[in-house]
Structure 1
Amino acid sequence: MTLPMPGHDTGLWQAAEHELETALGGRSLVSAERFASSGRTSYTGPSPIAAARPALAIGCYEPWVSASPFEALTLEGRTSLRGIAQRRSWMADLDRSAQAAVRRHRRPVIAAWYATDRLRRWAGPRGTVAAVDAVLRAEVEDKANFGDILDHSGVPAGLHLTGARIDGTLPGLRELRRLVRSNRVVVQCGADSGGRGTVFVNDGADLARAAEMTGPYRVTAFVTGWSSNTTVLSVPDHAGRLRVYVDRPSHKAVGVPEAGIAAGKSGGNTWCLPWPEDAAARLVDAAVRIATWAWDKHRMKGLFGIDALLTADGEVFLNEINCRNQGTTEVSAVNQRLRGLPPFLIAHLTTMLDHPVTWLPDPDDFNSATVGVATGAAPGPFYLKLRHRGEVPVHLGPHLALPGVYRVHEGHLRWVRAGAHPADAGPGEVLLANLPAPGAICEPGSELGTAEGITTAADAPFADPHTLSKASRELLASFDQHLIPADHQGGTAP
C-alpha cells in the first residue's frame, strides 16, 4: 500500500538544488555504485532534484529509462550476465573503460560508497571523489573496533552488547561462551558489508568457520530480536561546528530462507513499524554521540549508518557502524521526503564537496521529531530484496521485461506503469526496481532487483525478523512465474 506524498516547500527544494549545483561548480556528477540507477530517489519521483541526476553512471547493473542517468557504463550492458561473480568484480572488469569514460568529463565529481585508489585513477588529476576515504572507512568500520568506538563516544553501557575484543587466536567455544555469557556467540571481523565478516557460532564447525577469518575479532552474545538500520547525516557548518541528523530507524529482516537470504544477511528493510519511545530516543542520542566522536577524531562527515538490535521487551543494542553510503540509502531517502525535506543524499554530496548546507532544519528539533515519527503509526518506505533462488540460470519472461510499477493478479505480475521511485506505486501496487536487462542471463544466487513502496504497519512486508508477510510471499511466488530457464547463449532451455 502506498500513500500520497505530502506537499513540499518550493523554496527549500530550490535552495537544496542551488547549493548542490554551486558545490558542483559546473563539474560533471559521476556515480560509481553497483546499481547504475543509484540516487534515483533524489532525481525521480515527486519533487525531483535535477542536479542529482548523474551525467555518467558506472555500475554492475543496467539502469532503466525512468531511472536513467544521462549516460551509463555497466558490466551487465556488456556481458548480458548477472551473477555473484559479476557483482564482486564489476569495478575491476570495467576499469579501463571506466577511466576512458570518466576522462571525457573534464572535471568529474565521482559519488561512491568510499574513495579508493581505483576511483581516484578514474577521476584523474582534475577530478574529485566525493566520498569518505577507504582507509578511514576501514578503520572506523572494522567490527573489532566497534566496542572501543562506543566507549570513546560516550554511548551509555546499556546499549552495548556483552562482548570482548580478541586480537589473537580465537579461544575454544566454552571460553567464548563464558566471555559473552551466552550459549550462542557472534564472531565478527573486518570492514566488509552484506553480512560478510559475521559468523553465528553454535558449535565447533561454526567456530572453525569463524577462525578462518583474519582477526582481530569482536565476539558478542547473540541477541534475539529485530535488526535495524539507521541513516545518520553529519554536516559541519561554516564555523566547523557539527550538525547531526538521525533518520527514522528501520526494522530489517535477516536470514530469510524463503526469500533466498542466508543467515546474517539482509532481506530488506521497512520503516513503517513503530519503535518503543525510550528505545528510539536512546538510539538517536547514541547516533549523535558517535557522529560527534567521528567528527572530532577523524573529521568524518556526510552519511553513515548505525546497525542495532531491538528486542521484544524494548531493549536496544548497537552492533555495527557502516562508515559510508549503504544498501538502505536509496529507499531510506523517502523518509526525508515524507517529512517535507529533500533527501539527505543532496546534503551529503554538497558537504562532501566542502560547500555549506543551509536548508536543513535545526538538528535538535529534527531528531526530537524523529523519535515521534519512529514511535507513531506514520507510513514509511520499504524494500524487499529479490534473489534467484533456483539452481539453473534464468532470464525474465516477456511480461516482466522492464522495471516499473506492477500488481499481483491471479498469481502473476501485471505491468501498470513506468516508475522509478517507491512513491510511484499506488494502493495494491509495487515498484520492481533494478530488474535484469532484457535478455540478461541470471545465475543462481544473483540479485534480481528490489520490490519497493510506501506502506503502513498493517501491510508491512515482514511478519517477523526472519519471515515474510503473506503479501510478500504472494509477490515472490508471482515473480517466480516469470523466471524462464535459459542457457548461457540466451536461449530458452528445452
Structure 2
Amino acid sequence: MKHKDAQTSAQNAERARIANEELTHALAGRPLINFDRHTTASRIAYAGPVGRIPAARPTLSLGYYSSWNPAGAHRTIAAETGTSLRDGEERKHKWWPRITDRAVADIRSFEHPPVVAGWWALPELHDLAGPNGTVAGLPASVRHTLEEKTALERVLRSAGVRKRHIIPARVYRGQLPSLTDIRSAVGARRIVVQAGHSGGGRGTVFVEDEHAMEQASRLPGPWRVSAFVEGWSSNTTVLSIPDSRGGVRVYVDRPSHTAVDIAALGAGTAKSAGHQWATAFPSQGVHDLIEAATRIGKWAWRTHGLFGLWGIDTIWTTAGPVINEINARKQATTEISGVNQQLAGYPPLAIAHLTTMLGSPVSWLPHPDEFNTLTLKAAHGSAPAPYYLKVRTRQDVTTPYDFPGSGIYRIDGKRLIWERAGAHPAEANTDRGLVLIANAPAPGTACQEGAELATIEGISEGPALPFAGPRELSRRGKALLQAFECLFVPTAKC
C-alpha cells in the first residue's frame, strides 16, 4: 500500500512539473498580469500545500479586494487598499477606474509586453496589453452569443442535448404580457423571468405575484420566461482543448451543490450563497451531464471556436439535471472547483486553460474519457471535496482593528481562533475543525451593507458540509456562520 501511495504521489508531482514547464514555455518570459476582482485569483495553483505551479503566480495582480500572504506574495494593486472601504453590491464591479492610472504606470515599467489574463477579453484587457501584448481570455463576442439567455433553448437543441435536459421557455420582446397570460403560456403558477444578458443572478426574478411581476418588467428585454423548477442548483466547470485533428477534447469536472437565497449569508433570491462538492449525485444524472457538456463543447467549438474554461448551470430535479445557463468564461466557482482536480492528482484545469489560451499544447491531461470517468466516480461522494460559503454583510460594519485577517482558523465552540497563515482549502479539513477565511477585508475597513465580507472555505467528506438543502444551511453551517460573524460584530451570542 505504501509503495502504491508513493507511486501515485510521484505521478502527481510529475504532472505538476510538466504543467509548470509547459506554462513557463507558453509565457516565454512575459510578465503575467491577473485582472480579477480577487487579487488572489489562481492562488490554489501556486499557493497550495502540494502540486504547486510556480509559473501560475502572476507578476502583477489587479483587482478590488486586497490580498494576503501566502496568496499575495507578489505585486498587487487593489482598489480597496488605502481607502479602508469595501463597497456594497452595486459598486463591487466598478473597481477598475480607481486603479487604472497606477496599473498602467506599473505595466509600462515592464521590460517585455505582458500577458493579461481575465474572465474574458474585455476592452480594458486589450488596452493594458497594448499592441504587442497578449490577452488570455475568451472573446467577448463568443461569450455574448453563448450566454444569451433567450437563445439557450436553441443552443441546446443545436448542440444535440437531449430534450429531457432542456427547460421549455418562451421569449418575449417589446413588453411582457400579463402575469395571467404568461402563466397560461408556460403552464406554471411560479415563473422565472430572465433578462437576455445578465450574470450572478442580477437579471433573474422569480415571479409569484403581481409585485414580483412588476420587478420583472423592469428588467431590460428581451426576456426568457420559463416555469420555476424545484431542485438543487448546480455549477459544473468544463474545459475544451483543441486537438491536433481539428476537433476538441472536452473535460468535465464534478458538479457542485449550489445553495441560493439564504438570507443569513446575505444571498438574494437568485444569488449563490456558496457551493459544496462532496454531496453525492445520482450516477445516471452525472453521466447525462457529462454527455450534454461534451455535446455542447463540440458544437460550440465547431460553430463559435469556443475553447478554454467555461461552465454549465443546472437544476437537479428528481428526474435528473436540466440546464438553465451556459457561461462562456471563467466563473466564480473556477478557483475552488480546481481543488477537485488537485485531489484527483492533477493540476487545476485553469492551468490548462491559460496554457491553451497562449497557443501552447497541454500534455499532462489524460484522454477526456479517462478524466470524465474519474468525475463520474468522484460524484458518488464519500471522499474529501471542497466547499465555500460566500458571506455578505447584512449591515454596515467595520472590521475590528485586532482582526487577524485571512488565513486558517480553528473552530473552538462558538469561536474561530487564528491558527496560521494559509491560502488553500485543502489546508482546512473542516471534519477536523479547521476552516480557511479568504478574501477578507483588512482591519479597520468599513464594509457597506451588501459587501462581500469573505469566503469561508475548506474540504470535507460530508459531516461538516455547510448546506443541508438548496436554500438551507446545515446545523454545522449555521454554527460556522455564527462563529464567523463574531469576528466582526461581537454580540451576546458569542
TM-score normalised per structure 2: 0.94
CA offsets per residue over residues 242-261 of structure 1, 9 Å max, x none?
00000000000000112211
1:13 equivalent to 2:20? Answer no
1:449 equivalent to 2:454? Answer yes
> Once the 2 structures are TM-superposed, how far is the Cα of residue 396 of structure 1 from its aligned partner?
3.3
Residue 47 of structure 1 aligns with an amino acid whose one-letter code is: G
Counterpart residue number, 1:126: 132
- The CA distance in 1 between the partners of 2:356 and 2:14, in whole Å, is 20
Counterpart residue number, 2:444: 439
- The CA distance in 1 between the partners of 2:232 and 2:489, in whole Å, is 35
Q: Which moved more, 1:186-195 or 1:442-451?
A: 186-195
Counterpart residue number, 1:489: none
Counterpart residue number, 1:239: 245
1:422 equivalent to 2:425? Answer yes
Query: Please, which of 477, 480, 483 is the counterpart of residue 482 of structure 2?
Result: 477
1:282 equivalent to 2:288? Answer yes
1:39 equivalent to 2:49? Answer no
Counterpart residue number, 1:269: 275
Secondary structure in 2 aligned to 1:168?
coil
- The CA distance in 1 between the partners of 2:489 and 2:285, in whole Å, is 46
Secondary structure in 2 aligned to 1:283?
helix
- The CA distance in 1 between the partners of 2:205 and 2:384, in whole Å, is 34
> Does the 8 A contact of 2:12 with 2:51 survive in 1?
no
Alignment of 1:50-199 (within 5 A): 50-84=54-88, 85-105=90-110, 106-199=112-205
Query: Please, which of 369, 375, 378 is the counterpart of residue 373 of structure 1?
Result: 378
- The CA distance in 1 between the partners of 2:114 and 2:245, in whole Å, is 28
Residue 12 of structure 1 aligns with an amino acid whose one-letter code is: R
Secondary structure in 2 aligned to 1:34?
coil
Counterpart residue number, 2:255: 249
> Does the 8 A contact of 1:103 with 1:123 survive in 2?
no
> Once the 2 structures are TM-superposed, how far is the Cα of residue 95 of structure 1 from its aligned partner?
2.1
- The CA distance in 2 between the partners of 1:447 and 1:240, in whole Å, is 43
> Does the 8 A contact of 1:82 with 1:443 survive in 2?
yes
Change (3 A) 1:417 1:53: same
> Once the 2 structures are TM-superposed, how far is the Cα of residue 15 of structure 1 from its aligned partner?
1.2
Change (3 A) 1:145 1:461: same
Higher relative contact order (CA 8 A, sep 6+): 1
Counterpart residue number, 2:211: 205
> Does the 8 A contact of 1:57 with 1:69 survive in 2?
no
Residue 151 of structure 2 aligns with an amino acid whose one-letter code is: N
- The CA distance in 1 between the partners of 2:215 and 2:486, in whole Å, is 36
Where do 5+ consecutive residues of structure 2 fail to align?
A: none
> Once the 2 structures are TM-superposed, how far is the Cα of residue 88 of structure 1 from its aligned partner?
2.1
Alignment of 1:230-379 (within 5 A): 230-311=236-317, 313-379=318-384
> Does the 8 A contact of 1:103 with 1:124 survive in 2?
no
Q: Percent identity?
A: 44
> Once the 2 structures are TM-superposed, how far is the Cα of residue 191 of structure 1 from its aligned partner?
3.0
Residue 53 of structure 2 aligns with an amino acid whose one-letter code is: I
> Does the 8 A contact of 1:397 with 1:483 survive in 2?
no
Residue 117 of structure 2 aligns with an amino acid whose one-letter code is: A
Secondary structure in 2 aligned to 1:228?
strand
> Once the 2 structures are TM-superposed, how far is the Cα of residue 107 of structure 1 from its aligned partner?
1.2
- The CA distance in 2 between the partners of 1:199 and 1:163, in whole Å, is 15
CA offsets per residue over residues 444-469 of structure 1, 9 Å max, x none?
11101111111122322101111111
1:220 equivalent to 2:226? Answer yes
Secondary structure in 1 aligned to 2:326?
strand
CA offsets per residue over residues 467-487 of structure 1, 9 Å max, x none?
1111121121112222159xx
Residue 435 of structure 1 aligns with an amino acid whose one-letter code is: A
> Once the 2 structures are TM-superposed, how far is the Cα of residue 166 of structure 1 from its aligned partner?
2.0
- The CA distance in 2 between the partners of 1:239 and 1:102, in whole Å, is 38
> Once the 2 structures are TM-superposed, how far is the Cα of residue 367 of structure 1 from its aligned partner?
1.2
> Does the 8 A contact of 1:54 with 1:69 survive in 2?
no
- The CA distance in 2 between the partners of 1:97 and 1:302, in whole Å, is 30
- The CA distance in 2 between the partners of 1:337 and 1:343, in whole Å, is 6
> Does the 8 A contact of 2:119 with 2:137 survive in 1?
yes
> Once the 2 structures are TM-superposed, how far is the Cα of residue 203 of structure 1 from its aligned partner?
1.3
Q: Which moved more, 1:16-25 or 1:208-217?
A: 208-217
- The CA distance in 1 between the partners of 2:12 and 2:404, in whole Å, is 37
Q: Which moved more, 1:246-255 or 1:206-215?
A: 206-215
Q: Which moved more, 1:229-238 or 1:4-13?
A: 4-13
> Does the 8 A contact of 1:404 with 1:415 survive in 2?
yes
Secondary structure in 2 aligned to 1:112?
strand
- The CA distance in 1 between the partners of 2:63 and 2:97, in whole Å, is 11
> Once the 2 structures are TM-superposed, how far is the Cα of residue 69 of structure 1 from its aligned partner?
4.6
- The CA distance in 1 between the partners of 2:230 and 2:146, in whole Å, is 26
Counterpart residue number, 1:491: none
Residue 126 of structure 2 aligns with an amino acid whose one-letter code is: R
Residue 61 of structure 1 aligns with an amino acid whose one-letter code is: Y
> Once the 2 structures are TM-superposed, how far is the Cα of residue 213 of structure 1 from its aligned partner?
1.4
Counterpart residue number, 2:53: 49
> Does the 8 A contact of 2:247 with 2:298 survive in 1?
no
> Once the 2 structures are TM-superposed, how far is the Cα of residue 239 of structure 1 from its aligned partner?
3.2
Residue 202 of structure 1 aligns with an amino acid whose one-letter code is: E
> Once the 2 structures are TM-superposed, how far is the Cα of residue 168 of structure 1 from its aligned partner?
3.0
Residue 13 of structure 1 aligns with an amino acid whose one-letter code is: A
Secondary structure in 2 aligned to 1:73?
strand
> Once the 2 structures are TM-superposed, how far is the Cα of residue 98 of structure 1 from its aligned partner?
1.9
Counterpart residue number, 1:23: 26
> Once the 2 structures are TM-superposed, how far is the Cα of residue 369 of structure 1 from its aligned partner?
2.4
Secondary structure in 1 aligned to 2:180?
helix
Residue 453 of structure 2 aligns with an amino acid whose one-letter code is: L
Change (3 A) 1:359 1:329: same
TM-score normalised per structure 1: 0.94
- The CA distance in 2 between the partners of 1:443 and 1:455, in whole Å, is 32
> Once the 2 structures are TM-superposed, how far is the Cα of residue 394 of structure 1 from its aligned partner?
1.8
- The CA distance in 1 between the partners of 2:106 and 2:292, in whole Å, is 42
> Does the 8 A contact of 2:336 with 2:386 survive in 1?
yes
- The CA distance in 1 between the partners of 2:109 and 2:475, in whole Å, is 49
